[in-house]
Amino acid sequence: MPKMSTTKEWFAGKEWAQGVSLELHDSVDVNEFYKQYQAKPELWKAVFEFMKQDLGALEIGKYPLVEGEVTAIVSEYNTKEPENAKWEAHRKFIDLQYVISGEEKMGVMPIADAANAGEYNAEKDVIFYGENDGPLHLATPETYFLFFTGDLHRPCIKVDESSPVKKLVVKIATV
């Protein structure tokens, strides 16, 4: 683990963002981000380079950025009632989630605090969980989230009413 001052200085300097001006949500584990970035900076540079473009102009679909290690996915959907949004986690990939347009709530909590785990689907790299209590955060076009393999997350929740969202999810291989 890096010294706390090293991690904080690295994060505050924002060189890692490659000029992307969006804010990383304060729920993100900065120490884990530092560890992942330092282990494979070329993956993260590809991610942030991709995020520099006009994301609103992107077509729905998949965009391979680094073969087998980084894939960007653009989707559109309507937000859900909380009871219809599942808690999920991944073992092989980190999720960067950014709401390009619209807004939604996202839950996040440590996987160590979670209960009611389902079966892991290795092909889709996902494990769904039953009901858990975790904080909900507002996701807007001003911020993005990183969900590491130690995080349980619950995206796609409506704010007041169900509404359309355009979202970027980038799958980044974990170390």
Question: What number of residues does the chain have?
Answer: 175
Pairing type for strands 61-66 and 70-78 reads: antiparallel
pTM above 0.85, yes or no: yes
pLDDT in tens, the chain (175 residues): 555 679 999 999 999 999 999 999 999 999 999 999 999 999 999 999 999 999 999 999 999 999 999 999 999 999 999 999 999 999 999 999 999 999 999 999 999 988 889 999 999 999 999 888 889 999 999 999 999 999 999 999 999 999 999 999 999 999 9
d(CA 19, CA 127): 34
Backbone angles phi, psi at 18, to 5 degrees: 55, 30
Q: Which is it for the CA torsion 171, 71, 82, 144, positive or negative?
A: positive
Q: Which two tokens stand for residue 31?
A: 């120490």
> Which residues, including other chains, have CB under 8 Å from residue 174's CB and lie 6 or more apart?
36, 91, 92, 93, 94, 148, 149
| Superfamily classification of domain 21-173 | YhcH/YjgK/YiaL (2.60.120.370)
Question: CA–CA distance from 75 to each of 26, 85, 99, 170 (Å)?
Answer: 24, 16, 10, 11
Per the listing, tokens 């073969």 go with 67
